[in-house]
C-alpha cells in the first residue's frame, strides 16, 4: 500500500509546464556535466538548478529566499521542481553563486538556435536585424565589482535582440561604467545588421565596422557635419527628407575616411538622422528599421517588470550572470511555446494565461491526488475491519 501511495503522489504534474520544458529535453543530455568540486556530493544537479530558476522567473517570485520557501512548502514545486531530497537555503545560494554558469551558457546558446529555427522572420526582406543596447541593473553597495559612481553600484547587460523574431541573441555582463560600443562586433554575426541608438555613434568605429564587413544602422546627432559626396532624390510626400552618401564629421578632427549613407526622416515633428552602410534598401526601409529598434526597449521593460529578472538573488558577478541567463532561457522557452501552440510572439497576456493554466492544472491534479488518498484511507479502514 505504501508503494501505491508514493506512485500516486508522483502524479501531481501539469501538462503545460511539461510542454514548456520539453525543448530542454534534447539539450540537457548534451550539456557539460556539473560535478562537485570536493568530496561532498552536489545538493542540486544542474537540471535541478535550471528548473528552479525557470520556475522562479515564471512565477515572478520576489527573492531567492522566497523561491527556497516555495520549493519546500508548495506541493507542486516540492514534487516537480525541487531536488528529490529538498534543498536548504545555504546550499541553494552556494549553487547559484558558484556553479552552473558554463552549463547555462551552453543551454542558452542551444536554445537560442532552436528558437531561431522555430520562429519565422517577420521582416525577412529587410534582412537579419539585431538591435543592440545596454541596460543598467541596480546593485547593492557590497557588490564591489559593479562599479558605477560614488555611492552607487550598478551592473550593465549588453544585449543583442533579434528584431524579426523578438528573441535575445547574445549578452555580456559588465560593471555599470563599461562602454557599450566595443560589444557591437562581439554581438553581431555574419549577415546581421546592427541597429543602434545615438550612444554608439563614433566615426572611427564606423570606418572599422565597414572595413570588417559589419553591417550597421545607427542614429546620429543632428548636429553632425555631413560632407555630401552624392545626393539622392527624395519624394515630396515621403517622411524622408534627406538621403545622401557623405563623409561624416569635421575634417582633420573626427571625419570618417570611408563614405557612408545618411538618411534623414521626420515623424511627429521629430527629425531622425541615420548613418548606415545598407545601400540595398530604400530610405523608407531605413526609417522603418530604426522604428523597429524600439522592440529591444519594449523587451527590457517587459523582462524587468513581468519576469522580475532584476530582483537580485545573487550578489556575485557569477551569480548575477546565472540569474540573467536563466531569465533569458525562460523567455526563449516561452517564445518557442507561444510559436508552437499559438503561432504568435510572446506577450504579457499570453504569459499570464500560461501561468494561470499551470496553476489550474496543479490544483486539478492536487484534487485528483486527494481523492486517491481518500480511497487509500477507505481501503486501509476496510482491511483493518
The DSSP letter of residue 41 is P
Q: Going along 163-284, which residue ranges are E strands?
A: 167-175, 192-196, 215-220, 226-231, 240-248, 260-267, 270-276
- Give the tens place of pLDDT for each residue, 43-89: 899 999 999 999 999 888 889 999 999 999 998 899 899 998 899 99
Which pLDDT score is estimated for 142? 87
**Three-state DSSP state, 273:** strand
Report the CATH superfamily, name and number, of domain 121-306. Transposase Inhibitor Protein From Tn5; Chain A, domain 1 (3.90.350.10)
Which range, of 98-112, 318-332, 355-369, averages the lowest pLDDT? 355-369
Please give the pLDDT value at position 275. Answer: 98
Cα three-residue angle 154-159-161, rounded to 5 degrees = 150
Averaged pLDDT for residues 133-148: 91
CA dihedral 70, 71, 72, 74 (to 10 degrees): 60
On whether the CB atoms of residues 136 and 155 are closer than 8 A, the answer is yes
Provide mean pLDDT across the span 236-248: 97
Give the torsion sign (CA, 303, 30, 165, 201).
Answer: positive
Percentage, residues of the chain above pLDDT 70: 90
Mean pLDDT for all residues in the chain: 89
Query: What's the mean pLDDT in 117-122?
Result: 96
pLDDT bracket for residue 36 (50, 70, 90): confident
276 close to 299: Cβ distance less than 8 angstroms: no
Is residue 67 packed enough to be buried (19+ CB in 10 Å), middle (13-18) or exposed (0-12)? buried
**Per-residue pLDDT at 145:** 92
Predicted pLDDT at 151: 86
Q: Are 241 and 234 in contact (CB under 8 A)?
A: yes
pLDDT tens for residues 167-211?
Answer: 999 999 999 999 999 999 999 999 999 999 999 999 999 999 999
Sign of CA dihedral 182, 183, 189, 194: negative
- Portions of the chain given CATH number 3.90.350.10: 121-306
**pLDDT attached to residue 381:** 54
pLDDT at 12: 60
Confidence of residue 348 (pLDDT cuts 50, 70, 90): confident
Q: Confirm whether pTM is higher than 0.75.
A: yes
- Specify the 3-state DSSP secondary structure of 232: coil
What is the rounded average pLDDT of the residues 232-247?
96
Q: What is the structure's pLDDT at 363? A: 72
Query: What per-residue confidence (pLDDT) applies to 349?
Result: 87
Task: Name the phi and psi angles at 18, rounded to 5.
Answer: -60, -40
C-alpha cell recorded at residue 122: 517577420
Strands 260-267 and 152-162: unpaired
pLDDT at 15 over 50: yes
Strand ranges inside 26-97, DSSP E: none
Amino acid at each position: 500500500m505504501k508503494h501505491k501511495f508514493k506512485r500516486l503522489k508522483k502524479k501531481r504534474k501539469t501538462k503545460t509546464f511539461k510542454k514548456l520544458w520539453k525543448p530542454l529535453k534534447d539539450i540537457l543530455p548534451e550539456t557539460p556535466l556539473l560535478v562537485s568540486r570536493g568530496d561532498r556530493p552536489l545538493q542540486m544537479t544542474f537540471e535541478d538548478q535550471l528548473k528552479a530558476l525557470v520556475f522562479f522567473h515564471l512565477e515572478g517570485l520576489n527573492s531567492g529566499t522566497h523561491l527556497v520557501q516555495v520549493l519546500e512548502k508548495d506541493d507542486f514545486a516540492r514534487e516537480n521542481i525541487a531536488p528529490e531530497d529538498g534543498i536548504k537555503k545555504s546550499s541553494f545560494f552556494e549553487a547559484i553563486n558558484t556553479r552552473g554558469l558554463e552549463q547555462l551558457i551552453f543551454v542558452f546558446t542551444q536554445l537560442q538556435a532552436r528558437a531561431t529555427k522555430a520562429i519565422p522572420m517577420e521582416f525577412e526582406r529587410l534582412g537579419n536585424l539585431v538591435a543592440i543596447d545596454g541596460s543598467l541593473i541596480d546593485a547593492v553597495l557590497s557588490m564591489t565589482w559593479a562599479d558605477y559612481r560614488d555611492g552607487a553600484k550598478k551592473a550593465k547587460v549588453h544585449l543583442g535582440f533579434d528584431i524579426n523574431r523578438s528573441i535575445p541573441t547574445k549578452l555580456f555582463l559588465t560593471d555599470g561604467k563599461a562602454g557599450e560600443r566595443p560589444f557591437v562586433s562581439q554581438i553581431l554575426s555574419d549577415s546581421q545588421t546592427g541597429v543602434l541608438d545615438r550612444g554608439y555613434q563614433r566615426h572611427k568605429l564606423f570606418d572599422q565596422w565597414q572595413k570588417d564587413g559589419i553591417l550597421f544602422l545607427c542614429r546620429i546627432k543632428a548636429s553632425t557635419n555631413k560632407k555630401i559626396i552624392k545626393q539622392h532624390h527624395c519624394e515630396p510626400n515621403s517622411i524622408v527628407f534627406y538621403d545622401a552618401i557623405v563623409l561624416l564629421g569635421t575634417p582633420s578632427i573626427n571625419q570618417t575616411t570611408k563614405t557612408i549613407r545618411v538618411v534623414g526622416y521626420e515623424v511627429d515633428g521629430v527629425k531622425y538622422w541615420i548613418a548606415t552602410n545598407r545601400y540595398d534598401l530604400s530610405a523608407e526601409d531605413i526609417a522603418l528599421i530604426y522604428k523597429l529598434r524600439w522592440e529591444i526597449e519594449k523587451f527590457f521593460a517587459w523582462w524587468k517588470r513581468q519576469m522580475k529578472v532584476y530582483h537580485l538573488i545573487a550578489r556575485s558577478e557569477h551569480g548575477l550572470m546565472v540569474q540573467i541567463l536563466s531569465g533569458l532561457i525562460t523567455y526563449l522557452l516561452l517564445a518557442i511555446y507561444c510559436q508552437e501552440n499559438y503561432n504568435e510572439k510572446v506577450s504579457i497576456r499570453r504569459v499570464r494565461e500560461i501561468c494561470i493554466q499551470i496553476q489550474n492544472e496543479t490544483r486539478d491534479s492536487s484534487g485528483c491526488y486527494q481523492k486517491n488518498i481518500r480511497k487509500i484511507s477507505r481501503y486501509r479502514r476496510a482491511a483493518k475491519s
